[in-house]
Structure 1
Amino acid sequence: DYTIPMVDSSREYGKRGWFGVGVPQANPTVEPEFHRLLPPDTEAFALRLRSASPDPQQRAIDYLLQLPVLAKDFATLRVDAFLFACTGSSYLVSDDESAAVCAAAEAVFNAPVILAADAIRTRLQEQNVERIALLSPYPDWLNKPAQTYWARQGFEIVAVQQVEIGSDNTDRIYALGSADVEPHLDALLNSGADGFLVSGTGMPALSVIDRLRASGKPAVSSNSALVDCALALVESRFERQPFGSSE
């Protein structure tokens, strides 16, 4: 367990929170969205998640399984929490293996690790969402495991929309803009869902969730959920709750 102080007055910058952020190696979206979402007096420090594999599925798996080793790159940098900004890894790695990897990484960081998928689940549950409409830019090989994952978490999936990237390589996600998502929003809004889940940290999503929230229903993206959970952790002054636990 970790006790997080409300304010660390010894810090020149980021007195209210230092967050490590695991960013997939070519992802250009996480840091800009975190910059816009984090409040003043908090700071994010990026750790690039790396894999030498040419296969996008294996890369997503490597990002998570190699985290305890990659965590050593932070050396003596002590963060209040580490935010793992690759949602797809959780769809491809078993819950038990994810929990074991997080525990090993937490021992290196000496701080809690929050996975993007766990943060999304937490935020949806906090807002009493049971029926979700799922939007992602994933090819089928990742979109189908995503649906399986969220059904296993106890959510009823009432609609699925895929933003086409024209490739099985998820690196193509990074060329998307919010305009590419716009044609899919009406189907989500008319789905009868309790709330909306925009999965993936690489597709720009801030304007998308703003549009969905204008309906009066909750909308959660991977990056917004990570920031919300990190801020709740820092502000609480209490020992952390295990976001990676499904109990």
Structure 2
Amino acid sequence: MEYELQRLCAGQYSVHTARIAYQADTVENLTRLSREAFTAIEVLAHAQPDVVCFGCTGSGFLKTPQEDQAFAEALTAHCGIPTLTSSAAVLSEFSHLGARRIAVATPYEDWVNQRLRAYFEAAGFEILALTALGDAAHGRKSAQEIAQQTIEACPPDAEAIFLSCSNLFTLDVVDSIESATGKPLLSSNIAAFRGMQRRLKEGRLPP
């Protein structure tokens, strides 16, 4: 996530991060991330950021959209810094695009994908295709492989495409996928960046 956010910011903003130890997608691990986020954000607050994003998209899918929003509000109250989650940012950005019928590709196991589907459907979206890229996509599958699998799995009636997981390298495949499918693409990192940028531009933060 850090690498792609630095590229997206392109020197316009500074990026400060706090990592939480994590190894595998299990309910216990993903739930633990949410608990330990409160300690991590205390450390991050010393950099005095204007906005914070909790970046584990998969962790958000263990909650309902309403619970996810409440979690972001709890983090905001805890540190006094406006905070959003990457999972909620994805929903928000698709709403801004006016897209409700989504094709999704992820590096997750099936049980996480089913939580993703439930999260989106609870927010009024329709998942037309959900493609498993395989665990190798977690930072190891090539951009070309990710692009090809995503393009091949995208149904013609999808209104947009979502590449989920902030640990997935996506910036180098956006143009090729959008060109091949004719559909806008969001990734977890792009949505997180736009969500934070939108907060700044809306003047919801102190100068």
Aligned pairs, how many?
205
How far did residue 210 of structure 1 move?
A: 2.0
2-side partners of 1:99 and 1:164: how far apart? 29
Partner SS, residue 14 of structure 2: strand
Task: Work out whether residues 116 and 223 of structure 1, in 8 Å CA contact, stay in contact via their aligned partners in 2.
Answer: yes
Which structure has the larger Rg?
1
Read off the aligned partner of 1:145 and give its amino acid letter.
Answer: R
Question: Which residue in the other structure is 2:175 paired with?
Answer: 210
Task: State the distance in 1 between where 2:201 and 2:58 align.
Answer: 28
Which residue of structure 1 aligns with residue 110 of structure 2? 140
User: What aligned pairs does 1:47-62 form with structure 2 within 5 A after superposition?
Assistant: 47-50=18-21, 56-62=26-32
Task: Name the residue aligned to 2:11.
Answer: 40
What's the offset of the Cα at 1:96? 4.8
Partner of residue 86, structure 1: 56
d(CA) in 2 for partners of 1:222 and 1:195? 14
TM-score when scaled to structure 1? Answer: 0.75
Q: Counterpart amino acid of 1:50? A: A
Distance 2:142 2:173 in 1: 10
Alpha-carbon distance, 1:43 to partner: 0.6
8 Å contact from structure 2 (residues 147, 176) kept in 1? no
Contact 1:158 1:191 in 2 (8 A): no
Task: Return the TM-score normalized by structure 2.
Answer: 0.88
The 1-side partners of 2:155 and 2:165 are apart by: 22
Change (3 A) 1:182 1:100: closer
State the superposition RMSD in angstroms: 2.3
Q: Which amino acid aligns with 1:98?
A: D
Is 1:161 paired with 2:126? no
Percent sequence identity over aligned pairs: 22
Aligned residue number for residue 26 of structure 1: none
Query: Contact 1:188–1:196 (CA<8 Å) still a contact in 2?
Result: no
1:175 equivalent in structure 2: 140
2:147 and 2:177 in contact (8 A); partners too: no
1:119 aligned to 2:84? no
Gaps of 5+ in 1: 1-29, 167-171, 241-247
Structure showing the higher strand proportion among its residues: 1
Measured at CA, do residues 221 and 78 of structure 1 come closer, stay the same or move farther in structure 2, by a change above 3 Å? same
Whole-angstrom distance in 2 between the partners of 1:83 and 1:224 = 12
1:39 to partner: Cα distance: 3.5
Paired letter, 2:39 = V
SS of 2:72's equivalent in the other structure is helix
Q: Deviations over 1:103-136 (max 9, x none)?
A: 3321233111110111111110101001110111
Determine the C-alpha separation between the residues in 2 that align with 1:208 and 1:48.
26
Determine if contact 1:79/1:109 at 8 Å carries over to the other structure: no
| Post-superposition CA distance 1:135-165 (Å, at most 9, x none) | 1111112111111111111111111111012
Distance 1:178 1:126 in 2: 27
The answer to whether the aligner puts 1:234 opposite 2:200 as a matched pair is: yes
Cα distance in structure 2, aligned partners of 1:148 and 1:193 = 18
1:184 maps to which residue? 149
CA deviation digits over 1:55-112, x for unaligned, max 9? 6332111111221222222353211110111100111134454344323321233111
Rounded Cα–Cα distance in structure 2 between residues aligned with 1:198 and 1:54? 19
Which amino acid letter does the alignment assign opposite residue 65 of structure 1? R
Do 1:78 and 1:110's aligned partners in 2 also have CA atoms closer than 8 Å?
A: no
